[in-house]
Amino acid sequence: MSESSATDYLTVHEALHRIDKYTETGINSETIPARQSVGRVLSQDVAAQRDIPETDNSAMDGFLFLKNDLENGLRSFELIGEIKPEDDGASSPESGRCKRIMTGAQVPEDEVFVIPVELTTTTGSTVEVKDIPKRNPIRKKGEGYQKGKTMLAKNKEIRPYEIGLLIESGNKACRVKKSIRMAIQVTGSEVDEDMNTNGPVLSGLMETWPGVEIETHPVLPDDFDKVVDRMKELSGSADVVCTTGGISKGARDFILPAMKELGAEIIIRNIQQKPGKPITFTKLNGTLFFHLPGNPISATFCAEMYVRRVVRNMLELPHLNLKAVAANSLENHREEKTLFAPGKLFLDKNQRLSVRSKGVMRSHLLQLYRDNDVYLRLEPGTRYGKGDLIEVIPFSTGIDLS
């Protein structure tokens, strides 16, 4: 069957292409306070509402002198006053005199010069200049951003740093894309709620993703009618649904039969990969469903490889394409399956981004994530020698090069 009609046993490349094809963008937006915007994605460009800084001001604690006095060789001055950041406006000292000035305090528009405290000596009301810096430490009006200039672009994820920029530039609120409503549904009569690892792991991962609002549901037992009812319910309340378990071909694997009963579109059924071969991707009433295997490693990997991709597509965020130098040889003996192995990034002695891996991925061993931070993508029937470049996919929790 052609790729356009087949759903079973797609290659990883075909699966990624199909996921991209079925992901819709154009999420509605809302206005929220800038202080509450971390982890959200801008829906429009943000312009500075004021100059940054708003006035010429001192970049250091020091003393304010007339340039002309310094150029004429004068080095001893009478201290006559102080300029503080909260002062509204400032006047220049007279010739032969100086003023103490604080960091952030406005400087007058005259030809003045600020000399840091450490380059002066003060005795009583007399200030002696020991040295003059080459650069006048004055921040000019608008040198950071000018009013009306774009300072943050549309589709930018807001981190704590960007919140500072928003507030500093006079943007008390911003337009962001509405959060993607993500539902997590663990299934399996054998899964005890207290020993449910998939739910907390997936929820914890997704909390690191931008623009996602997570709702975790109680474990769903292997009951066909209950599965049908819950899938129908979720299709009306979430944008994306992640289920785990019940997706193989066992007698009590009811997820796929339930989705077919509801008339869902089956987009992907199995991917030629390890781990996570049984992953299934469906669509029901406009909601995207990722049906992940129940094994913890498989569920976690598929969420990071495919669900995260959909989220970033919907928010119009870029994907990180990363390659690293293999620190040891690796080989995928399988002629059809793409293998994904856990790995650890580091900088080698030549400061090249490198990765080491034992090349083993077992679906039930979550401890494989310990001390690793990426997945290595090993193409079918391919050997990677030491020093070869290899594609790596970072974990949601980030990269540690220490």
The domain that holds 165 is classified in CATH as 3.90.105.10
Question: Do residues 223 and 331 share a domain?
Answer: no
pLDDT value of position 62 = 98
Candidates 14, 259, 270, 24; CA nearest to 4 is: 14
pLDDT tens, residue by residue, 174-203: 999 999 999 999 999 999 888 899 999 999
The domain that holds 339 is classified in CATH as 2.40.340.10
Binned at pLDDT 50, 70 and 90, residue 365 comes out as low
User: In this structure, what DSSP letter does residue 42 have?
Assistant: B
pLDDT value of position 6 = 62
pLDDT tens, residue by residue, 268-296: 999 999 999 999 999 999 999 999 999 99
Q: Give mean pLDDT, residues 9-27.
A: 95
pLDDT value of position 40 = 98
Mean per-residue pLDDT over the chain, rounded:
94
pLDDT tens, residue by residue, 41-76: 999 999 999 999 999 999 999 999 999 999 999 999
Flag whether 283 is in a domain: yes
What pTM, to 2 d.p., does this model score?
Answer: 0.88
Binned at pLDDT 50, 70 and 90, residue 364 comes out as low
Question: Do residues 222 and 283 share a domain?
Answer: yes
Residue finishing a domain among 257, 291, 315: 315
Question: Do residues 167 and 209 share a domain?
Answer: no
Question: Do residues 230 and 331 share a domain?
Answer: no
Within a 13 Å sphere around the CA of 37, how many CA atoms are in the beta-carbon half?
A: 28
Flag whether 238 is in a domain: yes
The total domain count for the chain is 4
User: 40: buried, middle or exposed (CB in 10 Å: 19+, 13-18, 0-12)?
Assistant: buried
Question: Do residues 154 and 38 share a domain?
Answer: yes
Tokens coding 381: 């029937």
The total number of residues shown for the chain amounts to 402
Question: Do residues 289 and 277 share a domain?
Answer: yes
User: 314: buried, middle or exposed (CB in 10 Å: 19+, 13-18, 0-12)?
Assistant: buried
DSSP code string of 204-233: HHHTTSTTEEEEEEEEEPS-HHHHHHHHHH
Q: What is the Cα Rg of the chain in Å?
A: 30
Binned at pLDDT 50, 70 and 90, residue 1 comes out as very low
Residue 18, SS3 per DSSP: helix
Does residue 4 carry a pLDDT above 60? no
Q: How far apart are CA 64 and CA 99, in angstroms?
A: 5
User: 247: buried, middle or exposed (CB in 10 Å: 19+, 13-18, 0-12)?
Assistant: buried
CB 331 within 8 A of CB 384: yes
Q: Give mean pLDDT, residues 207-224.
A: 97
Residue finishing a domain among 315, 347, 369: 315
Does residue 380 carry a pLDDT above 90? yes
pLDDT value of position 5 = 46
CB-based contacts of 225, cutoff 8 Å, min separation 6: none
Residue with tokens 């970049």: 59
Sign of the Cα torsion 33, 37, 42, 46 reads: positive
Domain interval for residue 170 = 31-52+143-176
Question: Do residues 119 and 64 share a domain?
Answer: yes
pLDDT tens, residue by residue, 302-348: 999 999 999 999 999 999 889 999 999 999 999 899 999 999 999 99
Strand order in the sheet with 126-129: 112-116, 62-66, 97-101, 76-83, 126-129, 120-123
pLDDT value of position 366 = 67
Question: Do residues 296 and 284 share a domain?
Answer: yes
Question: Do residues 186 and 301 share a domain?
Answer: yes
Question: Do residues 35 and 168 share a domain?
Answer: yes
Q: Give mean pLDDT, residues 357-364.
A: 70
Question: Do residues 290 and 348 share a domain?
Answer: no
φ, ψ for residue 313, nearest 5 deg: -60, -50
The domain that holds 86 is classified in CATH as 2.170.190.11
pLDDT value of position 363 = 53
Question: Do residues 310 and 281 share a domain?
Answer: yes
What is the rounded end-to-end Cα distance, in angstroms, of the chain? 48
pLDDT value of position 2 = 38
Binned at pLDDT 50, 70 and 90, residue 109 comes out as confident
